[in-house]
Chains A and B, each alone.
Chain A
Amino acid sequence: MLELIDVAKSFGPTRALAPLSLEIRPRKTTVLIGPSGCGKSTLIGLMNGLIRPDRGSVLFDSTAVTAANSALIRRRMGYVIQDGGLFPHLDAGANVTLMARHIGWPKAKIEARLEELADLTRFPRDALARYPVQLSGGQRQRVSLMRGLMLDPEILLLDEPLGALDPMIRSELQTDLKAVFEALNKTVVLVTHDIGEAGFFADVIVLMREGAIVQTGTLRDLVDSPADPFVTRFINAQRAPFDALRGGPQ
């Protein structure tokens, strides 16, 4: 499906990614997690060619992603970023359908697909005519998700999609997002720094640190057989809601 072979990336003198390899498993949800600056966002950028590797190669469907073919390949990959990255000059519907209109889908097909996606993401249809500035943060992310899914991509890449939302909306969206993943049964790569979120979504967790992969496995693998003391430290760093009441770690 998607394979990164021996890729490395530096920005100026800063090394973002040490040479590493990773295979994304089809029809599974892979979560990239790690502290800030660990290279997880760089890694997802390499997958759709927004970032070019200094060395190594990225294979999508057995084809190397290059500068020349990346624009076409991206149409087969949905992409959702923090706070949506919606185009402020277009209303929600136009944001979702921009690409389909650009490549000349028939109008009826576009309409049908838009309604289907609105239902799937539980986005109110009458809000499709609103502009991004008129939408709530959660609604913007639903629009962003619809936009990523419009062309029915083979893989969905999400870079901290819920990072800017308050806890209640975040939780609601997590539930809806997981339902969407399960309904579509697509290959998903999601970046987060929240281990709870990772555990909620992931079939496979890839824990990263300083540009390298520390461990790959399920949440259970990470808890039961950590590859490194860092794995345990990282998992335990997250405070559970009732720690304070139980007199647990402060």
Chain B
Amino acid sequence: MTRSPPLVAIALLAWLLAGSLAAGAAEPPAPEVRIGSKKFTESVVLGEIALHLTRSAKVRAVHLRELGGTRILWNALLKGEIDIYPEYTGTLRQEILSGLDIRTADALERALADRGLRASRPLGFNNTYALGMLPAMADRLGVEKISDLVRHPGLKFGFSNEFIDRGDGWPSLRRRYGLPQAEVRGLDHDLAYRGLMGGGIDVIDLYATDAEIAYYGLTVLTDDLRHFPAYDAVYLYRADLTARAPGAVAALLRLEGRIGQAAMTAMNAEVKLKGVAETKVAARFLAKTLGLDVTAPVEGFFARLWRRTVEHLTLVAISLSAAIVLSIPLGVIAARRRTLGQVILAVVGVIQTIPSLALLVFMIPLLGIGGPPAIVALFLYSLLPIVRGTYTGLHDIPLPIRTSAEALGLAPAARLRLVELPMASRAILSGIKTSAVINIGTATLGALIGAGGYGQPILTGIRLDDVNLILEGAVPAALLALIVQGMFELAERLLVPKGLRLSADS
């Protein structure tokens, strides 16, 4: 005689336990200063430099690398999710604060102060936008200046996505020069060089300090109508940081005027062309320029694999546990109430169709950056398979069995616990398994909003065009999905009652 275990409760407890353990392991002492960087090499290098500097001033600092585009960083700074990030004056004036028509450095300082922010003085290089072409084509068409492009409407333009949308980017450049080109595609900046070399596109946008300009010997078109403003690099930081961590600010300001155009371009080249880690490049620069002896703590392969595994599992475990807790009752309601059930299934179905990237970005204004928005997004994606599994499992119980349970005199709640949920356990578990696998895959996108995990090396690998780095994230993610799938097969043996397994085999 066997007693059917309260299966769902056991499954839940196991996941919650795993989730909280992982979360506990991932929690280092709270940092005093959070540095952010955009998802391109120069920004990451400047972020690493700021990290070394603040740490050398004995401040507990962390660097949230590759958080995304300008909007994400700016909003994160305003909300206090981060304290420092590298920015460019042109971006501040023309894009972020474009409504204010800021003309002088004083005006910019006042505008920032109004928002509780400060900027360092320029670091010493101007990373302006430019347009570039392969020299052979530029020579053949006789193109030297941007205004020469007007004569060649058939040229294919490939611009970074941010450039296409920015106020100081393509829309105003096109108006200013009266450019007629119709074929303008948005793509990742780091991939644009490949597109240019491959011949798929003819003209791309450049950052003046990109290492690839010299490497590929590109022709940089003269901005003859002086459309692009100066993009002097500065560190933006929260004004309250001066009181909170004066050492950090003082250390940071030592860099004012110390990074020249050539030095920055060389650092970009070291990372992108020679594959040196950003943290090493930053440390070498500080040693040379400020005589600062910072040993860049290089994390070993297994250490970073472990850290990312913990980060990834934390995202998955918390979001999946929460989804299980909500989805099973929703599935029960859906199976019991016909109309409400259709509404529930429709709503969780619609959530599933929202593009994951869009959902992640949509979460930022509500929850900021890092783990929480990623967890909420993953939670939402995990609902449908579990709700559906529960609904289907309950719905498919044969009528004579339901009648028998009722005729025994079991109250509805007891029928659910003793008969219906155990009988639906296989379908519920299979829904949870599907959710877990989808969740593990989707969690790699969490790196885009600073949630870490296996997505981080994938993101960096795409930026650096480094397949090994991409695999360092993709392979563990795939393995984790397989392991979790295997664990669920095992769980099925433990949690699905023997009688049901026998029925399925016969």
Chain A contacts to B: CB under 8 angstroms: 48, 50, 71-75, 77, 79, 81-91, 93-94, 97-99, 101-102, 114, 128-129, 131-134, 147
Q: What's the Cα separation between A73 and B409 when bound, in Å?
A: 7
Contact A81 B3 (CB under 8 A): no
A82 neighbours in B (Cβ, 8 Å): 400
Contact A87 B419 (CB under 8 A): yes
Contact A79 B404 (CB under 8 A): yes
Partner of A75, one of B403, B409, B425, B497: B409
Give the shortest distance, in Å, between B216 (CB) and chain A (any CB). Answer: 67
Partner of B400, one of A81, A94, A99, A134: A81
**Quick check: which of B141-149, B318-326, B410-418 contacts chain A, the rest being far away?**
B410-418
Q: What's the Cα separation between A181 and B404 when bound, in Å?
A: 21
Most-contacted residue by chain B among A81, A90, A129 (CB, 10 A): A90
Give the shortest distance, in Å, between A234 (CB) and chain B (any CB). Answer: 27
Q: What's the Cα separation between A200 and B35 when bound, in Å?
A: 89
Q: For the complex, is B353 an interface residue (Cβ under 8 Å from A)?
A: no
B414 neighbours in A (Cβ, 8 Å): 102
* 5 closest Cβ pairs, A-B complex: A85-B404, A74-B409, A89-B497, A131-B499, A93-B1
Contact B401 A85 (CB under 8 A): yes
> Assuming the A-B contacts A90-B497, A102-B418, A131-B499, are A75 and B408 also in contact, with contact meaning beta carbons closer than 8 angstroms in the complex?
yes
Q: What's the Cα separation between A91 and B498 when bound, in Å?
A: 9
Q: What's the Cα separation between A75 and B408 when bound, in Å?
A: 6
Q: For the complex, is B182 an interface residue (Cβ under 8 Å from A)?
A: no
Q: What's the Cα separation between A84 and B410 when bound, in Å?
A: 17
B411 neighbours in A (Cβ, 8 Å): 71
Contact B408 A90 (CB under 8 A): no
Partner of A147, one of B401, B408, B422, B423: B408
Partner of A79, one of B2, B408, B499: B408
B residues 407-441 near A (Cβ < 8 Å) are: 407-411, 414, 418-419, 422-423, 425
B503 neighbours in A (Cβ, 8 Å): 88, 131-133
Contact A50 B422 (CB under 8 A): no
Chain B residue with Cβ nearest A128:
B1
B residues 202-261 near A (Cβ < 8 Å) are: none
Q: What's the Cα separation between A101 and B1 when bound, in Å?
A: 12
Q: What's the Cα separation between A84 and B500 when bound, in Å?
A: 16
B4 neighbours in A (Cβ, 8 Å): 89-90, 94
Q: What's the Cα separation between A134 and B497 when bound, in Å?
A: 14
> Assuming the A-B contacts A94-B1, A94-B2, A128-B1, are A88 and B499 also in contact, with contact meaning beta carbons closer than 8 angstroms in the complex?
yes
Contact A71 B409 (CB under 8 A): yes
> Assuming the A-B contacts A71-B409, A97-B1, A99-B409, are A133 and B418 also in contact, with contact meaning beta carbons closer than 8 angstroms in the complex?
no
Report, as a range, how many residues of chain B touch the other chain: 20 to 34
Q: Between A and B, how many residue pairs show CB distances below 8 Å?
A: 89
Q: What's the Cα separation between A94 and B403 when bound, in Å?
A: 18
Q: What's the Cα separation between A98 and B414 when bound, in Å?
A: 11
Q: What's the Cα separation between A75 and B425 when bound, in Å?
A: 27
Give the shortest distance, in Å, between B432 (CB) and chain A (any CB). Answer: 18
B2 neighbours in A (Cβ, 8 Å): 90-91, 94
B408 neighbours in A (Cβ, 8 Å): 74-75, 79, 98-99, 147
Q: For the complex, is B406 an interface residue (Cβ under 8 Å from A)?
A: yes
Q: What's the Cα separation between A171 and B497 when bound, in Å?
A: 34
B506 neighbours in A (Cβ, 8 Å): 133
Chain B residue with Cβ nearest A81:
B400
Contact B400 A83 (CB under 8 A): yes
Q: For the complex, is B30 an interface residue (Cβ under 8 Å from A)?
A: no
For the A-B complex with A81-B404, A132-B499 known, give 8 more contacts whose Cβ atoms are closer than 8 Å.
A71-B411, A72-B409, A81-B400, A85-B404, A87-B419, A88-B499, A90-B4, A91-B499
B410 neighbours in A (Cβ, 8 Å): 71, 99, 102
Chain B residue with Cβ nearest A72:
B409
Chain A residue with Cβ nearest B412:
A71
Q: What's the Cα separation between A71 and B418 when bound, in Å?
A: 15
B499 neighbours in A (Cβ, 8 Å): 87-91, 131-133
Contact A86 B404 (CB under 8 A): yes
Contact B400 A85 (CB under 8 A): yes
Q: What's the Cα separation between A22 and B312 when bound, in Å?
A: 68
Q: What's the Cα separation between A128 and B497 when bound, in Å?
A: 16
Contact A48 B401 (CB under 8 A): no
Give the shortest distance, in Å, between A81 (CB) and chain B (any CB). Answer: 6
Q: What's the Cα separation between A110 and B366 when bound, in Å?
A: 57
**What is the 8 Å Cβ interface bit string for chain B, positions 1-18, against chain A (1 contact, 0 not)?**
111100000000000000
A86 neighbours in B (Cβ, 8 Å): 401, 404
